[in-house]
Every structure is written in C-alpha cells, then in structure tokens.
A and B are shown apart, each in its own frame.
Chain A
C-alpha cells in the first residue's frame, strides 16, 4: 500500500497513480464464480456470437471493480469512497490462455484518473475524480467518476 495521502496535498489536476490490468479468459471464469454472474456471454463462444458481440467479452462489473481498486489504492486506508459511477461504452475482449497459468501476448488495460474538484462539505474533505479504463489502443472503453473523502491534516 502506498503512503496515505491527505486532502491538503492534493490539487485539482493531480493524477491518480495508474493501475495496469490484464483480462484473460481464465479471469473471467474466476469472476463469474466470485460474482455469481454466469451469463454465457462471458465464456461461451457460440452464445456470444448468437447475441451479436462476436466473442466472449469482459464483464462490465469486473471493469468496474478495476476502477474501484484504482481509486481505493490511491486514496489509502484512511480515505473513503463515497460515490462511484462508470459506463461500459465499448466491449473489451480477454486474452486467451497459453498455458494453465499464463495468457497469450495481447492487450493490457490501464486504469487512470485525475482530480477534478476539491471542496469541503459538512466538515468533511472531498475530492471528485474523473476515471477511465483505456484499452491496448489507448481508447477509453469505460469512463467514470468517483467522489472520495480524504483525511485532513487538521
């Protein structure tokens, strides 16, 4: 865990430390089990074709949790995630597996963000952030926003 950040030290425009992620077919199965979302859209080639997405796609909710990880790691243990939103604008396709534990070469996704507003309300210290996931072609597939309560030095 990185060192705790404080509201006073964060300026509008500050970058959230980027987080790299790789989606694999294996991870989507793991996510299906952990989340309970067994929609075959995410693991069955024929089904994915039949509903018009071509091949299995990464769960939106998994991308959401990547972005939540991005923000919660950055805000530190004394920070509190108050609001979060994201939209799944484009589909992402997982890397295939090469061995039981390793994926093929392929796309890496980057979760990124920056602070857009800094304010206090009801004695609490807030920052608003724009966040996003960029695919291997630097296209934003999943934009979002987060509101975080940060500790203050007092």
Chain B
C-alpha cells in the first residue's frame, strides 16, 4: 500500500541540473550504439548538412543518470522519494528501466548547455507475477542555453519489493 507520504511526492521536482554537451561525448555515445552517422562526428560533413554543426543522436539524454554509487541511485529523482519508498520495502537498488516516451523539439548540438529538470508525474503500485511493484513516472524537460525547449522525456522506473527479490533468490 502506498502511503500518503509517498503519494504526496507526485508533482515534486528535482533542482535543475546543467549538462555541457561535448563533441567527444556525442561521438562516444554514437560509437557505443554502433551508429556510424557522420552527423554525430564529422564536423565538415555536419557543417554542410541542414543542421550546420555536429548534433547528438535523438535520445542522447533520457535515463537521467546520477552517479551516486553508495545508494545505487541512477535516476535523478527527489531524494525523499528514495527514502520513503525504501521504508515502504521498495529499495532503489532494485530499479529497472520500464520504458520511455520522448518528444523532440530542437536538435542537441555539440557545445550546447542543457538544463534538465525532472518532475514526478505519477507513482503507482501494481501486483506483478511474483510480487508487487511500484511504477514511477518521471518527466524530464531539457532546455538549451537560449531557454528553448529541446526535448521532453518521460521514463517509467520500476521498483520491486524486498519480498519479491527474496523469493526470486530462493528460487534461483
């Protein structure tokens, strides 16, 4: 059962974070996908394209990452949500990515400085096949240095209850 304390966090936002978009980071991202598109790496090619400069592949951001090894948090979410869900038996170490929904407004260019802000859109509890799960819908909005909307991304983070994980380990 989701407590009122958990449900009250729907609508809560993280503080804005800025990301500098480096050309090398774009190329490494495209390399890791195995996408050879010259728009993502070849400056001369990109300059002569409709974009006029190197761009990032759509989806360059989307699973907002926080490298906080101690708590295994890999999504940028309000810290209090991690605390209260942990208390309710849904540790964040069990997080899996359920899916994503994007809308693209402007290309992301090498050299852009993006500002991202994530809002908790919904929190639902559901009975899964082996135990209950919590689905958290997080919407992240990315603005560029001119305050123009670049991308919105809505991710579904799935947390599994402690009980379910223990059951699975017993079965394994």
| Contact indicator B165/A52 (Cβ below 8 Å) | yes
Chain B residues with CB below 8 A from A37, complex form: 63, 65, 74
Interface size on B, residues (CB 8 A): 41
Count A/B pairs, Cβ under 8 Å. Answer: 115
In Å, the complex CA distance between A49 and B67 comes to: 22
Interface with A: B27-35, B78-86, B139-147, which one?
A: B27-35
Q: Is B37 an interface residue (CB 8 A)?
A: yes
In Å, the complex CA distance between A73 and B31 comes to: 15
| Contact indicator B99/A87 (Cβ below 8 Å) | yes
| Contact indicator B50/A64 (Cβ below 8 Å) | no
| Contact indicator B33/A69 (Cβ below 8 Å) | yes
Which of A38, A39, A49, A50: most chain B CB closer than 10 A?
Answer: A39
Q: Is A98 an interface residue (CB 8 A)?
A: no
Closest chain A residue to B74, Cβ basis: A39
| Contact indicator B93/A64 (Cβ below 8 Å) | no
Mark out the residues of chain A between 52 and 107 whose CB falls within 8 Å of any chain B CB in the assembled complex.
52-54, 59-62, 64-66, 68-69, 72-73, 77-78, 80-88
Q: Is A27 an interface residue (CB 8 A)?
A: yes
Shortest CB distance B61–A (Å):
9
Q: Which of B39, B69, B97, B101 contacts A85 (CB 8 A)?
A: B101
| Contact indicator B74/A81 (Cβ below 8 Å) | no
Q: Is B16 an interface residue (CB 8 A)?
A: no
Mark out the residues of chain A between 94 and 124 whose CB falls within 8 Å of any chain B CB in the assembled complex.
none
Interface with B: A6-14, A28-36, A127-135, which one?
A: A28-36
Chain B residues with CB below 8 A from A82, complex form: 103-104
3 closest Cβ contacts across the A-B interface? Answer: A52-B168, A87-B99, A34-B32
